[in-house]
């Protein structure tokens, strides 16, 4: 879990990697590959592409370990690399405007309060998450799933803390709008 990372232990580990210590690098991989892979997959929606991004992330970490700054957690640094790689791919794949467009979430006829406990509704939440605008999805994923603080997510996204709070708030409101019509069959308005 990224939140459990020890800052004091991270700096020597990264120093060892910068000196070419393959064992230290392996420790880094063991501690963070899973989280980076999941984050990339949540952003890209493709397991295959997420694996490529994860591999490239650790290659860059190995090659540029000396650029790590010990005032940040290694997890934040790795998420930043992975985020930039994933966003590059998203922008090559489709224009920014298209990536911000929301598609319809699979609906259902049952009330949300009941459905939230059911597997299909949980899958609908995931589908809605994948349809959020790129930056909202990234901000929500970093703070909710990846365990980063708002300040750390701000570093990854290259924005201010206020902007992260705004992105997360809009993401949550959009998710509510997308999921609210599950019972009525109507679609709510989505904030960009």
Partner 1 sequence: MTVEHFTHLLDAHSSDLQRWPAAEREAATSLLETSDVARQAFLDAGRLDAALSAAPALRQGFEAPSPQLLRRVAEVPLRQPRRLGRKVWWPFKSAYAPMLALAAAVMCGLFVGNLAFPASAETALDEGVSELSDDELDELAEIAFASDGSVGLGDDVWSGSEETAP
Interface residue list for partner 1 (CB under 8 A):
18-20, 22, 25-26, 29, 33-34, 37-38, 41-42, 47, 51, 54-55, 58-59, 62-67, 113, 116, 119, 121-123, 125-126, 129, 140, 143-145, 149-150, 165-166, 168-170, 172-173, 175-176, 179
Task: Give the Cα separation of 162 and 115 in Å (integer).
Answer: 33
Closest distance of CB 55 from partner 1, Å: 5
Q: Please report how close the Cβ of residue 8 comes to partner 1 at its closest, in angstroms.
A: 23
- Do the Cβ atoms of 156 and 80 come closer than 8 Å? yes
Least distance to partner 1, CB of residue 125, Å: 4
CB of 152 to partner 1, least distance (A): 12
Q: 122 is written with which tokens? A: 């949980």
Each residue of 96-123: b (16+ CB within 10 Å) or e? eeeeeebeebebbeeebeebeeeeebee
By beta-carbon proximity to partner 1, the closer residue of 51 and 134 is 51
**CB of 14 or CB of 97, closer to partner 1:** 14
What's the token pair of residue 60? Answer: 């860059």
Q: How far is the CB of 119 from partner 1 (least distance, A)?
A: 6
By C-beta, is 96 or 184 nearer to partner 1?
Answer: 184
Report the residue number, 112 or 134, with the smaller CB distance to partner 1.
Answer: 112
Question: Which of residues 173 and 187 has its CB atom nearest to partner 1 in the complex?
Answer: 173
Residue 113 or 186 having the CB closest to partner 1? 113
Q: How far is the CB of 95 from partner 1 (least distance, A)?
A: 26
The C-alpha atoms of residue 95 and residue 90 are separated, in whole angstroms, by 8
Q: Residue 169: which H helix or E strand, with range?
A: helix 161-179
Indicate the helix (H) or strand (E) that contains 7.
helix 7-18
User: What is the 8-class DSSP label of residue 115?
Assistant: H
Q: Hey, what are 158's tokens?
A: 């290259």
Task: Kindly list the distances between the CA atom of residue 163 and the CA atoms of 9, 139, 168, 171, in Å, as whole numbers in the listed order.
Answer: 30, 9, 9, 12
């Amino acid at each position: 879990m990224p939140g459990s990372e020890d800052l004091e232990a991270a700096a020597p580990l990264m120093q060892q990697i910068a000196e070419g210590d393959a064992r230290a690098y392996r420790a880094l991989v063991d501690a963070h590959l899973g989280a980076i892979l999941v984050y990339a997959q949540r952003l890209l929606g493709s397991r295959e592409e997420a694996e490529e991004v994860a591999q490239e992330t650790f290659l860059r970490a190995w090659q540029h370990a000396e650029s790590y700054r010990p005032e940040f957690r290694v997890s934040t640094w790795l998420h930043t690399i992975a985020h930039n790689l994933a966003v590059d791919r998203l922008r090559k794949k489709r224009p920014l405007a298209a990536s911000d467009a929301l598609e319809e979430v699979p609906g259902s006829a049952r009330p949300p309060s009941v459905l939230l406990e059911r597997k299909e509704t949980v899958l609908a939440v995931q589908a809605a998450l994948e349809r959020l605008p790129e930056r909202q999805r990234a901000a929500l994923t970093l703070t909710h799933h990846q365990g980063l603080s708002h300040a750390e997510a701000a570093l990854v996204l290259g924005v201010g803390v206020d902007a992260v709070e705004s992105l997360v708030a809009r993401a949550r409101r959009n998710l509510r709008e997308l999921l609210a019509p599950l019972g009525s069959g109507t679609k709510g308005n989505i904030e960009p």
